[in-house]
Structure 1
Amino acid sequence: MFVDTPKEVRDPDVSAIAALDEPTRRRLYDHVARQPSPVGRDEAAAALGLPRRTVAFHLDRLADESLLDVVYERRSGRSGPGAGRPAKLYRRSAKQVAVNLPDRRYELAGRLLAQAVEESDATGEPVREVLHRKAEELGTQLGEQNKTNVFDLLERYGFEPRHEDDAIVLANCPFHALAREHTQTVCGMNLHLLRGVLKGREEAGLQAHLAPRPGQCCVRLQPAA
């Protein structure tokens, strides 16, 4: 699903990748990721030959970026009074990091297409009809959840909207590679997604239409008739 990241707020994926650009931090991340069980600060410091304070700083930074999870365990195997405090340990998180320039949302398209195939197989409804319905439902949900105007909402989700007279053209297609190879399927999905966005925002002044142009998204938002 789209990640709701206002323009003025940092992109968490970009921030996470920037954190890994520091060589020592990347070595620590790779070390923790290779271990079969959570890793403590002392263990990581000994393995990489680094000062414990340096290791603690970088491990906590990785945890702040959600690249590592923090768990607490007693390594002594004892419990109860006198067992000591649980050790702070680190393990790779399930967070997936991806940055695409221009913005791409292939995971969203994959989910919608998979849902359409599964529901079509279960009900016999044509796949394309299910896909259009699912896309419009998701667009409506996005429109209802985001309390901002349509232009800012489209900008937030990577469509790169531009005003053109009374219309809004979209300079970027988040599904570009798929749309190029499977134009009818993906552009139809995109059209219904954006119709749902307008519906969810109760935007009666605009309508989504297919209006493909070279270098732009296939959908154009025009003044309602």
Structure 2
Amino acid sequence: MSERTLHDPPGPPAVGESRAQVLDILRATRDAVGVREIAERTGLHSNTARFHLDTLVKEGFAERTTEGSGRPGRPRVVYRSVASSAEPTGPRSYQLLARMLTGLITEALSQPAQAAVGAGEAWGRYLVDTPSPARRIDAEEAVRRLTQVLTDVGFAPGPVEHRPDPVVPLRHCPFREVAEEHRDTVCSLHLGLMRGALKEVRAPLGVDRLDPFVEPSLCLAHLAPADEHRAADRAA
């Protein structure tokens, strides 16, 4: 997007594979459905399903209501798709908004990259499929859960490679236009997202660093044993 472009490119908003699956289920279901039903039918973690549902509401593809108060207990929040004729039209300027907000954060905070890592960690903990307290997660399972989060967000992660240390290749940046202008802040947010996800599942490894745009469409997330990662955090 050029410096003077105010609107996002025309066409439907980019919808990740998981979010598209959620939308398909809403459109194919006559009655409104809750988060649990969506999670069961898609295999997504309930927090991830709720994130996609709420995003579809914000984008105008779905609506959120509560079931009638005649049922005992707390009213259940349910979702249904919005008819295509009621979908909002007109240009979108989310890239411009993202640039403006990222610029504001960069200028307003004394350590924006550090703040971005912290915010990313909170979202990573929220979006990952958290194991039960009694379950011990090995490195392979931890990477699988991390990869699922990255796939849901739109990073198109590949299998772990050794270069020579283990890395997760990220072959698509869903925030590329903003990241190119505010690399320190946006890439720190992505680093925190991955670190938070691995910490939440009590993984035996962490993300040591993120090398952005080593190729035009490739970033590398370097993995390290969790003990080394914690030591690096203490030294920072």
- TM tier, smaller: 0.3 to 0.5
**TM-score normalized with structure 2 length:** 0.44
- Larger-gyration structure (1/2): 1
**TM-score normalized with structure 1 length:** 0.46
